[in-house]
Structure 1
Amino acid sequence: MTAWPIPRVSVLTKALPVAFGLLAVVLLSEPDLADRTRLALQTLLVIIWCVYIVQLIATIRTRPAEEGRGAILIVDLLAVAVPLAAFLVASDPRDVSLACGVWILKPLRDSTAFRLVAKVLANEARNLIGVVSIFGIVLIVAAVIAYFVERDAQPNSFGSIPKAMWWAVVTLSTTGYGDAIPQSLAGRVLAGLVMMCGIGVFALWAGILASGFAEEVRRLDFVNKWQLVSAVPLFAQLGAPELAGIVRALRPRHVPAGAVICRKGETGDQMFFIVEGRVGVAAAAPVELGPGAFFGEMALITGEPRTATVTAASAVTLLSLHSLDFQILLSHNPAIAETIRSTAAERGSAKLGS
């Protein structure tokens, strides 16, 4: 019997309690649920709550001081404290199970996606606050004008600024519930202007968040590629500016074991640097290349088709360099160019080029 990989087991052990717990919360809201079924679901919630107590203790005792530890601790604490507080305070038993809905936060504790969201919000906080200020100003101005224009015609909907503010929120967000509608011409013109302002404000929010996400993803991608490139011995001699240029040119590629990376006879438009793993070169004298080695350069130097098939002997992490970037690299870095050309010459003489 084949054992499951540890990461898969870890994901299941984290996801299943959340899934079963939230399913129990949903089912317990049914008023006609059988007593035996209700008791079984409540017992399941208690068991999951006990599991989260153990997890909270483990977080407190074993987590070192690391980035994101505070958020993880808060989520684990809420998962235990909120249901307990509901059990001690709530008068309606339904509220106790409803409090377990806080477990929806559990997937966030280890999620890189939500950490990325938090990072973007922190980076763009000043711009977002500025847009919120614009939203607030438009909201108040629209509510005051709507109150002045519609208060006599519709006292129930616009009889006070707070009432008019509800209409302004609905209109500014372009939701349009239809529970409060201006009757006068001035009120309808105001509604149209408020809608257009709302579209503009939400477009600003979307633009700020989109650019923030794109910038953060580019930064993370650059850092990851920098780590990969710096692990290649051929680039160890380069300074930071030269290395940064190569980082932008190289593209990471992960290849599973047994996959063909390039085939004999095909046109070569890129060469490869091995970061992790090993590849097999099926030439006249087959060889294996490991971390730090490169291949595929002869097709770029001579312009001829590839002369060997290269296959991943194990899971491989590669950095690919396309022909145009290859020529730029050779022209700007004579030492690297000499190393690549001399290696290509040796392989050509031994018919190991690919």
Structure 2
Amino acid sequence: MSTLPFSKISEPLNALLVAIGLVTVAALTTPDMAGQSRLILKVLLAGIWAAYVLQLIETLIVHRTKAVRDRVLEIAVDLLAVLVPLAAFLFVGGRDQSLYCAIWLLKPLRGSTFFRLLGRVLSKEARNLLGVTSIFGIVLFGAALAAYLIERDVQPDKFGSIPLAMWWAVVTLSTTGYGDEIPQSFAGRVLAGLVMMSGIGIFALWAGILATGFYEEVRRQDFVRNWQLVAAVPLFQKLGSAALIEIVRALRPRIVPAGSVICRKGDTGDQMFFIVEGRVTVATPQPVELGSGSFFGEMALISGEPRSATVSAVTEVSLLSLYSADFQMLSSSSPEIADVIRKTALERRGGTPKA
């Protein structure tokens, strides 16, 4: 089934519609706005809502059965974006109707790679995050209890109960320090200092766990992507897993738009290139095209000579680049691959130079 246009509302356009909708919601809360201006803004909200209705309809029509189950988050967000404002229009009166359009804040979540990445990180690090959260709760309650015992007779209006002292504990543990509740006794101030230092450590743990989780997840995704690219090059398909892992770590993926120059004649070369997808042309007296599985630029690594030809992308090209230092590593770990590269370089040097 052909895809209807509203299913392809791009992420930037989604963000623009959300921004316009939220600004409109904020403007409608202005009490002294003229009736005509208010009507125009409500019509604008209705137009955004109608676009989201069409997007939802198309999503449900095109992405059925298993595809729907795979896109539960997107469909749920689309449903809420349509049903919540509709319910507000039908059952809520007054000027608060438009406030329910703030549910559109969820729209950037649909299809967002960042939020999917965040979800995977939170899922994998849930145990560690829960452990730090437990420490936070223990320290929070302990600080409120201690503040209650120390300050309840000095400031009964602010520390007269544990729930009252809890606000001070939250503000102090988070190192926000609003200053609306300050211990008066010496023991209370010592307690405040200890709670602040504990808060710094706890939030540092949270940040460290999340940073490590993001790093590991991004590195895993990059490794999988690079593995797929390397495995697509015929020259590497006979390698074992151990050698292939070394190649994956050494090669750097790169996308070159059609018409771009990849390397120029006469330049000093510090890397060679393997073509995963696309075609390039080598500007020799008799131009040569190279396609998927080919490589070029090896002469600069082997002989140290300047580039012998200019190479440009005929189509958009997916490349893997190998720097000279990594080429030396490849020569020692996979001599058969290095021999093929050297043999090809000698053949090209004896015939028509290609890069």
Q: Does the TM-score normalized on the shorter chain lie above 0.5? A: yes
Structure 2 counterpart SS, 1:265 = coil
The match for 1:276 is 277
Deviation at 1:198, TM superposition (A): 0.5
The match for 1:58 is 58
Aligned ranges for residues 191-230 of structure 1 at < 5 Å? 191-230=192-231
The change in CA–CA distance for 1:89 and 1:188 in structure 2 (over 3 A counts) is farther
The match for 2:350 is 349
Structure 2 counterpart SS, 1:140 = helix
The match for 1:182 is 183
- In the alignment, residue 147 of structure 1 is paired with which amino acid? Y
The match for 1:3 is none
Superposition TM-score, scaled by structure 1 size: 0.93
- In the alignment, residue 292 of structure 2 is paired with which amino acid? P
The match for 1:44 is 44
Deviation at 1:8, TM superposition (A): 9.6
Aligned ranges for residues 87-102 of structure 1 at < 5 Å? 87-91=89-93, 93-102=94-103
Percent identical pairs in the alignment equals: 64
Q: Distance in 2 between matches of 1:181 and 1:10?
A: 50
Larger CA deviation: 124-133 vs 36-45? 36-45
**Which of these residues, 65, 70, 73, is aligned with residue 72 of structure 2?**
70
Q: Distance in 2 between matches of 1:265 and 1:30?
A: 66
- Is there any run of 5+ residues in structure 1 with no aligned partner, and where? 1-5
Deviation at 1:313, TM superposition (A): 2.2
Given that 1:285 and 1:352 are in contact with CA atoms closer than 8 Å, whether structure 2 keeps it comes out as: no
- In the alignment, residue 311 of structure 1 is paired with which amino acid? S
- How many positions carry a matched residue from both structures? 348
Q: Distance in 1 between matches of 2:242 and 2:51?
A: 51
The match for 2:157 is 156
The match for 1:113 is 114
Deviation at 1:123, TM superposition (A): 1.1
The match for 1:310 is 311
Q: Deviations over 1:241-270 (max 9, x none)?
A: 221211110001112223222222222211
Deviation at 1:19, TM superposition (A): 2.6
Structure 2 counterpart SS, 1:272 = strand
Q: Distance in 1 between matches of 2:101 and 2:8?
A: 25
Given that 1:131 and 1:205 are in contact with CA atoms closer than 8 Å, whether structure 2 keeps it comes out as: yes
Deviation at 1:11, TM superposition (A): 4.3
The match for 2:83 is 81
Deviation at 1:334, TM superposition (A): 3.4
Deviation at 1:161, TM superposition (A): 0.3
The match for 2:341 is 340
The match for 1:300 is 301
The match for 2:104 is 103
The two structures, once aligned, show a CA RMSD in angstroms of: 2.0
Deviation at 1:13, TM superposition (A): 4.5
- In the alignment, residue 35 of structure 1 is paired with which amino acid? G
Deviation at 1:71, TM superposition (A): 1.1
Deviation at 1:182, TM superposition (A): 0.6
Q: Distance in 2 between matches of 1:335 and 1:56?
A: 55
- In the alignment, residue 84 of structure 1 is paired with which amino acid? L
- Is there any run of 5+ residues in structure 2 with no aligned partner, and where? 1-5
Deviation at 1:276, TM superposition (A): 1.7
Larger CA deviation: 282-291 vs 143-152? 282-291
Given that 1:284 and 1:352 are in contact with CA atoms closer than 8 Å, whether structure 2 keeps it comes out as: no
Q: Distance in 1 between matches of 2:13 and 2:96?
A: 26
Q: Deviations over 1:206-254 (max 9, x none)?
A: 1011111111110111111111111111111122222121111000111
Structure 2 counterpart SS, 1:281 = strand
Given that 2:11 and 2:108 are in contact with CA atoms closer than 8 Å, whether structure 1 keeps it comes out as: no
